[in-house]
């Protein structure tokens, strides 16, 4: 039995005349011990989905289960078995690090000592600041404290809604290392993120946009499904270059990707052809080279279909 099972989940907001559908029949499953990523930009429906699966929000259609328990009929049992870290820092800012952790342990009728082994590797990083108020912590420290509070009752399933948004690159890397350690303990992890580069750190991912799941596969499987010619192009006039390339019939898409623009073309187009065209347009410092697709390229391609 999967640890998480969602079938045709629908969620709507607003009155009848102004209804907005946040989730359009979302279906997926997460196996026990799997690290599964929900990847998508703001407005994709990630938070609505997480709030439904953690029994904080009722769906308007479909059904779902966590550890075989129905999210509507057996919500109390689910809440004792899962840990949830919402996107916004939701701990008590006026309480200290130690007081927040003690409070959450008390809610679940446990103690810090009873499950300290589970949070030890994370907590030791913030223990020197245990007397500091949570509101005075840095973004990375808040993130670690929130994760400790979500783990203090030893959940079997962990829901993390955009846990690395707004933190520095070092803290992001440290956080994913923590998740690897938790996965090795057999904890099932469902994590959402708008960062496409984090998709490769998951066992499987679901790419979401506007309340729809566009693809579910391993990161490698999604990348392998991209079969179009792809080039990285750069000149001294990037915006002009993009506009001019998008005006050509053999170019399907062109978008910024770091220091380069990625150019998706029709079959048969070569890097030399793109290079010659840009030189004819008067561009200087032209650099065009074939590249391997990444998750972001696949996401952009799926959005156009």
Token pair of 218 as six digits: 């391993």
| Residue 118 parent element (H or E) | helix 116-123
pLDDT at 16 > cutoff 80 = no
What is the number of other CB atoms lying within 10 angstroms of the CB of residue 130? 14
Q: Are residues 11 and 90 in the same domain?
A: yes
Q: What's the whole-number mean pLDDT along residues 244-254?
A: 97
pLDDT digits (tens, 9 = 90+) for 20-79: 999 999 999 999 999 999 999 999 999 999 999 999 999 999 999 999 999 999 999 999
| Domain total of the chain | 2
Q: Reduce the DSSP state of residue 75 to 3 states and report it.
A: helix
Measured in degrees and rounded to the nearest 5, phi and psi for residue 84 equal -135, 125
Q: Does one domain contain both 178 and 107?
A: yes
Long-range contacts of 98-105 (CB under 8 A, 24+ apart): 98/130, 98/131, 100/134, 100/145, 100/149, 101/145, 101/148, 101/149, 101/152, 104/149, 104/152, 104/153, 105/152, 105/153
* Domain final residue pick, 193, 223, 253: 223
- Of 178, 193, 223, the residue that ends a domain is 223
* pLDDT band for position 81 (cuts 50, 70, 90): very high
Pair (108, 169) in one structural domain: yes
Question: In the predicted model, is pLDDT for residue 305 greater than 80?
Answer: no
Spatial distance between the Cα atoms of 258 and 78, rounded to a whole number of angstroms: 42
Closest residue by Cα to residue 108 from 149, 52, 73 = 149
Residue for token pair 């308007």: 60
**Which of 194, 223, 252 is the last residue before a domain boundary?**
223
One domain, residues 116 and 191: yes
Q: Is 108 left (phi over 0), alpha (psi -120 to 50) or beta?
A: alpha
Domain housing 70: 4-223
Per-residue pLDDT tens digits for 197-213: 999 999 999 999 999 99
Task: Assess whether 74 and 219 both reside in one domain.
Answer: yes
Same domain, 249 and 203: no
User: How does pLDDT run across 212-244, given as a tens digit for each residue?
Assistant: 999 999 999 999 999 999 999 999 999 999 999
Whether 197 and 93 map to the same domain: the answer is: yes
Residue 167 — pLDDT band, cuts 50, 70, 90? confident
- CATH code, domain with 251: 3.30.70.100
What b/e string do you get for 133-170 counting C-beta neighbours within 10 Å, with b at 16 or more?
ebeebeebbbbbbbbbbbbbbbbbbbbbbbbbbebeee
- Tell me how far apart the alpha carbons of residues 88 and 90 are, in angstroms, rounded to a whole number: 6
The CATH number linked to 21 is 3.40.50.300
- pTM equals 0.91
Q: Do residues 60 and 99 share a domain?
A: yes
CA–CA dist 80, 281 (Å, integer)? 64
Whether 53 and 183 map to the same domain: the answer is yes
The answer on 27 and 48 residing in a single domain is yes
| Whether residues 299 and 284 fall in one domain | yes
User: What is the torsion angle, in degrees rounded to the nearest 10, for the CA atoms of residue 185, residue 188, residue 194 and residue 195?
Assistant: 30
Say if residue 56 is in the same domain as residue 88.
yes
* Cα(9)–Cα(128) distance, integer angstroms: 43
| pLDDT at res. 139 | 86
């Amino acid at each position: 039995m999967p640890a998480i099972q969602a079938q045709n989940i629908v969620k709507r907001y607003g009155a009848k005349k102004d209804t907005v559908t946040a989730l359009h029949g979302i279906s997926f499953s997460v196996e026990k011990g799997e690290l599964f990523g929900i990847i998508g930009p703001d407005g994709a429906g990630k938070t609505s989905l997480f709030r439904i699966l953690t029994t904080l929000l009722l769906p308007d259609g479909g059904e779902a289960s966590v550890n075989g328990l129905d999210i509507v009929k057996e919500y109390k049992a689910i809440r004792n078995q899962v840990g949830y870290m919402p996107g916004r820092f939701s701990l008590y800012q006026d309480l200290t690090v130690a007081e927040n952790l003690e409070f959450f342990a008390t809610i679940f009728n446990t103690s810090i000592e009873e499950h300290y082994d589970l949070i030890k590797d994370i907590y030791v990083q913030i223990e020197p600041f245990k007397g500091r108020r949570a509101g005075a912590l840095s973004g990375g420290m808040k993130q670690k404290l929130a994760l400790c509070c979500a783990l203090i009752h030893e959940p079997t399933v962990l829901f993390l809604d955009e846990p690395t948004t707004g933190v520095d690159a070092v803290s992001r890397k440290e956080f994913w290392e923590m998740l690897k350690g938790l996965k090795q303990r057999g904890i099932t992890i469902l994590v959402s993120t708008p960062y496409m580069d984090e998709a490769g750190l998951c066992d499987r991912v679901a790419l979401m946009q506007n309340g729809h799941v566009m693809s579910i596969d391993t990161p490698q499987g999604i990348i392998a499904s991209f079969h179009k010619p792809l080039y990285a192009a750069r000149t001294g006039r990037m915006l002009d270059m993009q506009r001019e390339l998008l005006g050509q019939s053999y170019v399907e898409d062109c978008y910024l990707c770091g220091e380069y623009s990625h150019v998706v073309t029709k079959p048969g187009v070569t890097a030399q052809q793109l290079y010659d065209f840009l030189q004819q347009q008067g561009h200087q410092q032209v650099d065009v080279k074939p590249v391997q697709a990444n998750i972001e390229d696949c996401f952009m391609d799926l959005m156009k279909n």
